[in-house]
Amino acid sequence: MAMDVIDYKIVGNDMQYVEIELDPQEAAVGEAGTMMYMEDGITMDTVFGDGSDQQKGLFGKLMGAGKRLLSGESLFTTVFVNQGQGKKHVAFAAPYPGHIVPINLPDVGGTLICQKDSFLCAAKGVSLGIAFQRKLGAGFFGGEGFIMQKLDGDGMAFVHAGGTVCQKVLAPGEVLRLDTGCLVAMEATVDFDIEYVGKLKSALFSGEGLFFATLRGPGRVWLQSLPLSRMADRIVSASRFAQGGGGREEGSLLGGLGGLLDGDNN
């Protein structure tokens, strides 16, 4: 399917939204629940899958929806079409504090691999699939990084990064280690694997977990400073503390031992 060529602007600092300008009959597809506003003349239609398989019959629709279900997303996306006269605008808002990253898919070879909860919206025609990590270690220990989304096409796509976004360019063979939740997106040429921390003391007391994500170049990667899972853990921890269920050591190994000693075993 031919891609719609869209114009856009990103508004805001830490709570951003992207406003997309559509010519008559142009369309954009958004993740369910991300639409902020749309001008009169734009029609909204909820479809199975990503909207790129709508001309392929029932089987194509089911396959598109099934891919999204496997990646942890909703079975549906929403397509916004400009049915009016002249240019119209539709905006999509980020779901939590961070930054929106615009990526022109031809600039990354037509394919982008991204975390399953980072996709925000795209030009109509961009295909949303799944990317399984081939490595056994990634499969068992990858967490957020095991099943990722794959965006294919030659149009614009927008992904959301929590906190501050960082782009790095890896040379062939160059290795970068990071927390699995901090990966937002990467080019298809980047190799992804999971690596054991190596020292039991580091695994238990560093607070970083037992495993790193290991990225090997060549290719570009986009990282986020505040993964949603990390922010959610801090909110839960603060909530328990406010209710008298935790202390300053909450979330550490000592916090767990302290809970056993003081009777906080709920």
149 secondary structure, DSSP code:
E
> What would the mean pLDDT of 241-260 be, rounded to a whole number?
50
Distance from chain centroid for Cα 179 = 15
Given a cut of 80, is residue 262 above it in pLDDT?
no
What are the tens digits of pLDDT across the range 126-168? 888 887 665 545 444 444 446 788 899 989 999 999 999 999 9
Let me know: does 94 contact 121? Beta carbons within 8 Å.
no
| Burial annotation 77-100 (CB, 10 A radius, 16+ → b, else e) | bbbbbbeeeeebbbbbbbeebbbb
Cα 224 to Cα 100: distance, rounded to the nearest angstrom: 11
What are the tens digits of pLDDT across the range 61-102? 445 444 544 444 555 788 999 999 999 999 999 888 899 999
Q: Which residues pair with 92 in a beta bridge?
A: 18, 35
Percent helix, strand, coil in the chain, to 5, is: 25, 40, 35
- Mean pLDDT, the chain, integer: 77
| pTM for this prediction | 0.75
Cα 32 to Cα 75: distance, rounded to the nearest angstrom: 9
Whether cis (ω within 30° of 0) applies to the bond prior to 218 is yes
Q: Where are the beta strands (DSSP E) in 68-210?
A: 76-82, 88-93, 98-104, 111-114, 119-123, 127-132, 147-152, 156-162, 165-170, 175-178, 183-187, 191-196
What are the tens digits of pLDDT across the range 210-223? 678 899 999 999 99
Of 5 and 171, more confident: 171
Cα 185 to Cα 212: distance, rounded to the nearest angstrom: 16
pLDDT of 261 reads 42
Cα 52 to Cα 60: distance, rounded to the nearest angstrom: 9
Compute the CA torsion angle 83, 87, 88, 94 (nearest 10 deg).
120
Let me know: does 212 contact 179? Beta carbons within 8 Å.
yes
Let me know: does 215 contact 183? Beta carbons within 8 Å.
yes
Cα 130 to Cα 65: distance, rounded to the nearest angstrom: 11
